[in-house]
Structure 1
Amino acid sequence: MIKGVIPRDAPPPDYHKMMRELYRIGNNLNQIAAKAHTLQVMDIQRYDRAVQEFRTAVHTITEAVVLPERRS
């Protein structure tokens, strides 16, 4: 509070839904990597989409759960 921010309370009800989404995206990335390793080929478009989904989800979760709220 000294730095002008308010700590967050317990995670919101959507927290677990958001985490499941992260695990789903991570699983997709894992499958892409395993396939690329086996076939020695990479589906770049699918991988790029999954990475972008992952980054977006991490950003959304960080804003919603981790970062403190700014005081108005």
Structure 2
Amino acid sequence: MRTRTVDIHFRMTPSEAKRLDANVKKTGMNRSEYLRTLVEGKQPCEKPDEAFYEMMGEMRAIGINLNQIAAKANVLGFVDQPRYEKEAARWRQFMLAVKEKFLEPK
């Protein structure tokens, strides 16, 4: 059953509609999602670029590898030191790349 049963219609000028559509496009949402977000008092964020998703994939891969190291250490009773150090270095490089891409002034 639908939870959103209230249908709201309103009019806009062509320039207002153009501005709305431009803002909606930046977020990757549709108009309804965008307007509901504003009604909830939240500011919609722009959809991240492809580099963000690539970095999140890298972070996921590092997390999986660290989890496998932890599981192996739990079973065997010791840590695979070379593999751990390799993943720790990979994590440090990842964090520096994220900082450079998203946090450092251009």
Residues 57, 25 of structure 1: CA spacing in aligned structure 2 closer, same or farther, 3 A cutoff? same
Residues 48, 33 of structure 1: CA spacing in aligned structure 2 closer, same or farther, 3 A cutoff? same
Structure 1: 5+ residue runs without aligned partners? 1-8
Structure 2: 5+ residue runs without aligned partners? 1-45
Shift of 1:11: 3.7
Shift of 1:66: 2.5
Q: For the Cα contact (< 8 Å) 1:11–1:65, is it kept in 2? A: no
- Which has the higher Rg, Structure 1 or Structure 2? 2
Query: Over the residues paired in the alignment, what is the CA RMSD in angstroms?
Result: 1.7
Higher relative contact order, structure no. (Cα contacts within 8 Å, ≥ 6 residues apart): 1
Q: For the Cα contact (< 8 Å) 1:28–1:50, is it kept in 2? A: yes
Aligned partner of 1:38 in structure 2 is 75
TM-score by length of 1: 0.73
Q: For the Cα contact (< 8 Å) 1:25–1:54, is it kept in 2? A: yes
Alignment deviations for residues 14-71 of structure 1 (CA, whole Å, 9 cap, x no partner) = 11011110110111011101110111021100000001001101110121013332xx
What is the aligned-residue identity percentage?
36
Q: Which amino acid aligns with 2:88?
A: V
Secondary structure of 1:14's counterpart equals: helix
Q: For the Cα contact (< 8 Å) 1:36–1:42, is it kept in 2? A: yes
TM-score by length of 2: 0.52
